[in-house]
Structure 1
Amino acid sequence: MAKIKDKKANRLIKESSPYLLQHAYNPVDWHPWGEEALTKAKQEDKPIIVSIGYAACHWCHVMEHQSFENAKIAEVMNQHFVCIKVDREERPDVDAVYMDALQAMGLQGGWPLNVFLNPEAKPFYGGTYFQPQQWLTLLHNITAAFAQNRQELDSSAEQFGQHLNRNELEAYGLKESKLQVHEEDLTKIYQALSSRFDRKHGGLSPAPKFPMPTNYLWLLRYYHHTNDEKALKHLHLTLREMAYGGIYGQAGGGFARYSVDEEWLVPHFEKMLYDNGQLISLYAEAYQATRETLYHDVVYETIAFAERELMSPEGGFYSSLDADSEGEEGKFYTFTKNELHQLFGSEEPLFSKYYHATAAGNFEHGRNILHRRISDEAFAEENELELEVLQDMVQNWKEKIMQVRAERIRPALDDKILCSWNALMLKGLADAYYTFGNKHFLKLAIRNAEFILRNFKTGNRLFHNYKNGKATIEGFLEDYAILINAFIRMYEVTFNEDWLQQAKELTAYTLDNFFDEAECMFYFTDQEAEKLIARKKELFDNVIPSSNSVMAINLHLLGLYFDEHNYTELSESMLAKMKDLVLKEPSHLSNWAILYYYKLAQTAEVAIVGPEAPEMRAEISSFYLPNIILAGTTDKSELPLLNQRVAIGGKTTVYVCYNKTCQLPVHHAADALDQLKGKQESEKFPAL
């Protein structure tokens, strides 16, 4: 294969996306998604290949090396097609349209996603990964069909185009109704979710297993509301097995994207910012509820991983780390038994017992994925060690592993910075500070929030991407929704009302530019954005919560903060439409289920006024109270929740209110906690 310096660059060389730049020296005449490529297809009357992937995608790399670097295959692609490369992380709108089309064709979705379009950009065939000969044969077949059966292809494309533009709410049988919430519905949601529990290894069956944090954030709330020990048991099992498994970086922290097996042992080694931000939130909240030391350690180690390996000098967080290094998946993170012996000498047998490393290896090429099976307490007892001695040894082992990894060739870094994914990390950092009070976490959060405002926000409009000093793609609903949610949390941990005002201004923009009044849901794209063949709505929660579910929660919270009844009504209307689906398929709608819990249990409004408001906030927030909002000021505030509330007798005063009805003001966090817990434990709230 020719060296890069001997190759001719294609149009992608001008792009900033690492994924597109990976393909910049392919012999394929790639175009980025845009008007130039779409116009060319119309002018030359050629079908279009849209190939979608992302930088950390293993099989995207494989198909590139096998097919897109193959001169013979490239010649066919260039002669008969207009070829477009898309980074799905930069253009989730394009990805959503053509992924929906692929699934409408009855095919399994995934990446790389390769879709064939007619010159009007309407899809007629597609697939995911193809072996080289399969791909070449398909290219010839599509070329022949386009020449000989054009009318049939265009007719098929028209049908798929109609499918993509269907009324999404009607497609899923979602109807306008008034929200009614019932206690028994929480049990129905739990039963539907628990039917998929893997009771041996945690998580949901079958493999592959993704962390899916919102499932367990809902489970935490369900346990808090019901005291159902079975829910807590499964939560513990899942979070422990993930933290012990190969999906978690045993030496350096941070989670991989998913596990290919049911035991969380063998990960797909790519590490994504969006997973780690959400998992910081999950483990921090789980620690609040349980005081489990393991969860504390996971939060601290994962934040250290993100700061060390994903944080830019400017304060933003990069998108991901690749699965591969030196052409092998996981090589950076795995060790042969011989490597471990050279590193640890006489301690190697104990190390290998602790991390389950063997001579044969538990992964490819005789390599070992470090993982645990039991707690430090159990291991210390089993091996007749003092717990403190073992923990000192483990810390030393981790440091040595990290020293070795520092000398290795690192996985590739996707160094684009995305607004929505940074907002998830911002929320994670704020949640960690909320739980632990560690000022370094708050410092990181403020630095990241200021980076976001500086580089992604112009007026009340957001951009989606940032690299090399430029933000070039208009923001999507996920950018607005997740950032609003993070800013609400930033207010709660700082009582700086600027964050809450930012959240309200961004919300006003989404209502003006994304909202569909006819369906009472938000579009994924801005009304001013590029017009694709369909304008989609994101309803289902996936590895990232759906932008509509996040907006519905935002409207619920902001409705309380600002006494905006229209926000509250809109939130309820959105949830009412989704309710039947939530009861049936909670694993795909768990963020909606969280909102259902908020509505059922009624969110407490906690207002703190007085000179020690920050200290009182810290004391209250160290307890697990998943259905409250916090507002506070050391002096006075025009915020509706704080307006005309005073520090009685000059002493910091706490007001606990539900549904605009307040209990007696108190001066001690313990008394406020008694009011909160007493209310939650003594009443089951009626239907709205």
Structure 2
Amino acid sequence: MLKTYISNLSPDYKNFKVTHKHTNALIKETSPYLLQHAHNPVNWEAWHPDVLERAKKEDKLLLISIGYAACHWCHVMEKECFEDEQVAKVMNEHFINIKIDREERPDVDQIYMDAIQMISGQGGWPLNIVALPDGRPFWGATYVRKENWTRTLNQLAELYKKDKPKVTQYAKDLANGLHAINLVEKDIGSDLYSMEQLEAAVEHWSQYFDTFLGGHKRAPKFMMPNNWDFLLHYATTNSKPKIMEFVDTTLTRMAFGGVYDHVGGGFSRYAVDTKWHVPHFEKMLYDNGQLTSLYAKAYAATKNELYKNVVVETIGFVQEELLDESGGFYSSLDADSLDKNGELQEGAYYVWTKAELIDLLGDGFEVFQDYFNINSYGHWEGENYVLIRDKSDEEIAQKHKLTVTELRSQLKENLRLLKKERETRPKPRLDDKILTSWNGLMLKGLVDAHRYLGDGQYLDLALTNATFIEREMITQDFSLYRNHKEGNSSINGFLDDYATVIDAYFSLYEVTFDMKWLNLAKKLLDYTREHFWDKESGMFFYTSDKDQSLIRRTIEVDDNVISSSNSIMAINLYKFHKLYPDGTYGKTAKQMLRNVQKDFDRRAQGFSNWLHLVLYLNRNFYEIAIVGNDHRAMGQKISKEYVPNSILVGSQKDGDIALLKNRALPGKTLVYLCLEGACKLPVTSVQEVLEQLHPHKH
């Protein structure tokens, strides 16, 4: 996409060279966020062992500034501080200055984020840290105004010069604290979390449910896909209609809200209010990948057309804006873009004035304003409105004496006009680096979209992306790279890169029955066991033993906006245990669950991805084996059903996996429903499989 854009430029423009007064070491990097700072007067360096070595030799403090391309306040601080010659003079004189893209180096970001929370009780980005030459922090802040920034830096440099032992002792104590808060104790004796405990934990969690507007009773509201994914699984497999109603409310309100881009598809990061109205306008690949999965599953469970439309439009957005010609997906679109006056404003690309809408839509405005609340409910600030729904198509159609089909047709045309108009506006900046873990989440989203919506183009796109990951991100020894841009990868993968790709490849195997993807997933899984496993805690480290560790090797267990790498790994291990029962996969998954389950009672929502494993272990978990000439077609029909407590395997004839051995009968396609490897008598139709799965429904 970028190459096409450049090739369409006039020859004069391409030969035009911008000369910059300053250029620093970041010019050699590929991250768009780092490159944005390459012409600051600050002598920025990228995070690298050589830079730390130099700091030690020169006994110079480190000033570490962490952000990401779609971060509004990062841009503000750059403009105010890092582009200022006088500020740069102070920074260059007293510090070795390091700029970090948190999306490329989440390992470093996690440690310094923990540090700032210990220092100040709060965190965020930009994340600015002052550390000893060996990287141990002793001061931190987020956004700081210019005058405070220079004053503070001068004071810190002076303090280090005058009282180094005191500063060193504080940094040592803080480093000890950073170790202590990340300890995971191995739990050997406890029983695994029971169904009764799970029900009590969900009951406790439910007091925070916003049953009217969906999500939790608070603002800002983040999408938290893993919360609703677990509750969907829990509600459908345990007959919990009230929980299901809450999930429906949440997914509907999110899709109705301003956090969803009604014109171009896809979700923004979060809403600043309780009604999902005004978003923080950046659009991240990881949100859209996970939400594609979630809405596809919800569509399979409910057949609600709204959910299907969200999937179709979200993938449409990702294809249009984030797909590289190599098959990888870019990271994000910025929140800010140029407004009518040529000034960078948050949301400028996405918002509308009433006058603009009347001008664009003419007679269509009356219905449109009712549908998308061009009124006090949908008003944002100044003259701007953010589109938000709060009524069903049926209600609006009835009010305006239209059929639902007529209404939808009219709105489709309205939104087409808006999209056309929007495309004339300056676009938000694109972060075109490709991150493995986020691509893993998007790949899973595409697989789920194909699985539950049955659209072959989603499988084609999934296979293109899976092949890109195999070609560009997996090395000969089955280690992964973290990042990729224009043919270059420079950072070793972290646990989330492995966890999400293993999960996505396993899911891709389930819809293709192509052993290539299962074998690749298994090789990546075995690599993590060798290079990330911590025997002492019975968990995986976030970084591999091939990388130099900073202060500690982090163990990530909390499920946040993205599920923790350890929870995804535990589920991966559990599923692989079903296919390869002789190994220690299952035992390891149970050990990992034991280590974290003590926290579920009081804060289930912070461990919601782990809770799938609790359901798998306490309820029937089915292995569905399909053997015969029509195994793929049969697999497709079965996998369309939402059966979260199952895995699918299939082959034309007897396969290598234990579940597929000695199963084939000439001329027949047989389906075996198995529990713990013990199978019922084979059946030959989807209907019979569903009857075996849900006898009470049929």
Provide TM-score, normalisation by structure 2: 0.94
Identity of aligned residues (%): 44
Residue 294 (structure 1) aligns with: 306
Match of 2:600, SS state, is helix
Q: 2-side partners of 1:535 and 1:303: how far apart?
A: 36
Match of 1:124, SS state, is strand
Residue 84 (structure 2) aligns with: 70
Match of 2:144, SS state, is coil
Residue 572 (structure 2) aligns with: 554
C-alpha deviations, 1:472-526, integer Å up to 9, x for none?
Answer: 1001111111100000000000010111111111111000000011111000111
Checking the alignment, whether the CA contact within 8 Å between 2:370 and 2:396 is kept in structure 1 is no
Q: 1-side partners of 2:526 and 2:561: how far apart?
A: 27
- 1:160 Cα deviation after fit: 1.3
Match of 1:629, SS state, is strand
Residue 558 (structure 2) aligns with: 540
Residue 584 (structure 1) aligns with: 602
Q: 1-side partners of 2:20 and 2:195: how far apart?
A: 68
Checking the alignment, whether the CA contact within 8 Å between 2:42 and 2:83 is kept in structure 1 is yes
1:144 equivalent in alignment to 2:158: yes
- AA at the equivalent of 2:40: N
- AA at the equivalent of 1:452: I
Checking the alignment, whether the CA contact within 8 Å between 2:194 and 2:614 is kept in structure 1 is no
Matching of residues 350-389 of structure 1 within 5 Å? 350-358=367-375, 362-389=379-406
- 1:635 Cα deviation after fit: 2.2
Checking the alignment, whether the CA contact within 8 Å between 1:605 and 1:628 is kept in structure 2 is yes
Checking the alignment, whether the CA contact within 8 Å between 2:277 and 2:378 is kept in structure 1 is no
Checking the alignment, whether the CA contact within 8 Å between 1:52 and 1:85 is kept in structure 2 is yes
- AA at the equivalent of 1:19: Y
1:266 equivalent in alignment to 2:296: no
Q: 2-side partners of 1:388 and 1:224: how far apart?
A: 31
Checking the alignment, whether the CA contact within 8 Å between 1:169 and 1:175 is kept in structure 2 is no
- AA at the equivalent of 1:386: T
1:312 equivalent in alignment to 2:324: yes
Q: 1-side partners of 2:540 and 2:398: how far apart?
A: 55
C-alpha deviations, 1:363-420, integer Å up to 9, x for none?
Answer: 2331111111111111111221111111001111111111112111100000000010
Residue 46 (structure 1) aligns with: 60
Checking the alignment, whether the CA contact within 8 Å between 1:359 and 1:366 is kept in structure 2 is no
1:402 equivalent in alignment to 2:391: no
Match of 2:140, SS state, is strand
Q: 2-side partners of 1:306 and 1:614: how far apart?
A: 28
Q: 2-side partners of 1:361 and 1:377: how far apart?
A: 20
- 1:178 Cα deviation after fit: 4.7
Checking the alignment, whether the CA contact within 8 Å between 1:179 and 1:573 is kept in structure 2 is no
Residue 591 (structure 2) aligns with: 573
C-alpha distance 518-263 of structure 1, shift in aligned 2 (>3 A):
same
Correspondence for 1:157 among 162, 167, 171: 171
- 1:35 Cα deviation after fit: 2.5
Q: Which moved more, 1:26-35 or 1:486-495?
A: 26-35
Matching of residues 166-185 of structure 1 within 5 Å? 166=180, 168-170=182-184, 175-185=187-197
Q: 1-side partners of 2:97 and 2:18: how far apart?
A: 21
Residue 261 (structure 2) aligns with: 249
Matching of residues 279-678 of structure 1 within 5 Å? 279-326=291-338, 327-358=344-375, 362-459=379-476, 460-647=478-665, 650-678=667-695
Correspondence for 1:14 among 5, 11, 28: 28
Q: 2-side partners of 1:232 and 1:174: how far apart?
A: 35
C-alpha deviations, 1:430-476, integer Å up to 9, x for none?
Answer: 01111011000000000000011010011211100000101110011
Q: 2-side partners of 1:289 and 1:661: how far apart?
A: 27
Q: 1-side partners of 2:113 and 2:610: how far apart?
A: 23
1:234 equivalent in alignment to 2:246: yes
Checking the alignment, whether the CA contact within 8 Å between 1:177 and 1:573 is kept in structure 2 is no
Runs of 4+, deviation exceeding 6 Å: none
For structure 2, the 5+ residue unaligned runs are 1-16, 339-343
Match of 2:591, SS state, is helix
Checking the alignment, whether the CA contact within 8 Å between 1:58 and 1:323 is kept in structure 2 is yes
Q: 2-side partners of 1:361 and 1:287: how far apart?
A: 27
Q: 1-side partners of 2:177 and 2:470: how far apart?
A: 38
For structure 1, the 5+ residue unaligned runs are 683-688
Checking the alignment, whether the CA contact within 8 Å between 1:310 and 1:317 is kept in structure 2 is yes
Residue 204 (structure 1) aligns with: 216
1:37 equivalent in alignment to 2:55: no
Checking the alignment, whether the CA contact within 8 Å between 1:114 and 1:127 is kept in structure 2 is yes
Checking the alignment, whether the CA contact within 8 Å between 1:266 and 1:363 is kept in structure 2 is yes
Q: 1-side partners of 2:442 and 2:373: how far apart?
A: 31
Q: 2-side partners of 1:15 and 1:283: how far apart?
A: 37
- 1:352 Cα deviation after fit: 1.8
Q: 1-side partners of 2:376 and 2:236: how far apart?
A: 45
Q: 1-side partners of 2:113 and 2:330: how far apart?
A: 25
Match of 1:313, SS state, is coil
Q: 2-side partners of 1:252 and 1:288: how far apart?
A: 24
Match of 1:41, SS state, is helix
Q: Which moved more, 1:427-436 or 1:337-346?
A: 337-346
Match of 2:634, SS state, is helix
Checking the alignment, whether the CA contact within 8 Å between 1:223 and 1:231 is kept in structure 2 is yes
Q: 2-side partners of 1:378 and 1:69: how far apart?
A: 53
Match of 1:195, SS state, is helix
C-alpha deviations, 1:150-190, integer Å up to 9, x for none?
Answer: 211110101111222337345xx663335424221221221
Checking the alignment, whether the CA contact within 8 Å between 1:41 and 1:82 is kept in structure 2 is yes
Q: Which moved more, 1:654-663 or 1:79-88?
A: 654-663
- 1:360 Cα deviation after fit: 11
Q: 1-side partners of 2:19 and 2:360: how far apart?
A: 39
Checking the alignment, whether the CA contact within 8 Å between 1:558 and 1:564 is kept in structure 2 is no
Checking the alignment, whether the CA contact within 8 Å between 2:186 and 2:538 is kept in structure 1 is no
C-alpha distance 162-403 of structure 1, shift in aligned 2 (>3 A):
same
C-alpha deviations, 1:38-78, integer Å up to 9, x for none?
Answer: 12322222211110000001111111111111222111111
- 1:359 Cα deviation after fit: 9.0
Provide TM-score, normalisation by structure 1: 0.96
Match of 2:352, SS state, is coil
C-alpha distance 361-68 of structure 1, shift in aligned 2 (>3 A):
farther
Match of 2:208, SS state, is coil
Match of 1:461, SS state, is coil
Q: Which moved more, 1:203-212 or 1:315-324?
A: 203-212
- 1:565 Cα deviation after fit: 4.1
Q: What count of residue pairs does the alignment treat as equivalent?
A: 676
- AA at the equivalent of 1:402: K
Match of 2:626, SS state, is strand
- 1:36 Cα deviation after fit: 3.2
Q: Which moved more, 1:54-63 or 1:354-363?
A: 354-363
Checking the alignment, whether the CA contact within 8 Å between 2:67 and 2:100 is kept in structure 1 is yes
Checking the alignment, whether the CA contact within 8 Å between 2:67 and 2:127 is kept in structure 1 is yes
Residue 95 (structure 2) aligns with: 81
Match of 1:427, SS state, is helix
Q: 2-side partners of 1:622 and 1:34: how far apart?
A: 47
Checking the alignment, whether the CA contact within 8 Å between 1:179 and 1:575 is kept in structure 2 is no
- AA at the equivalent of 1:15: E
Checking the alignment, whether the CA contact within 8 Å between 1:12 and 1:24 is kept in structure 2 is yes
Q: Which moved more, 1:556-565 or 1:50-59?
A: 556-565
1:96 equivalent in alignment to 2:110: yes
Match of 2:232, SS state, is helix
Q: 2-side partners of 1:146 and 1:372: how far apart?
A: 56
Residue 13 (structure 2) aligns with: none
Q: 1-side partners of 2:511 and 2:369: how far apart?
A: 42
Q: 2-side partners of 1:496 and 1:78: how far apart?
A: 55
Match of 1:357, SS state, is coil
Checking the alignment, whether the CA contact within 8 Å between 2:296 and 2:449 is kept in structure 1 is yes
1:113 equivalent in alignment to 2:130: no
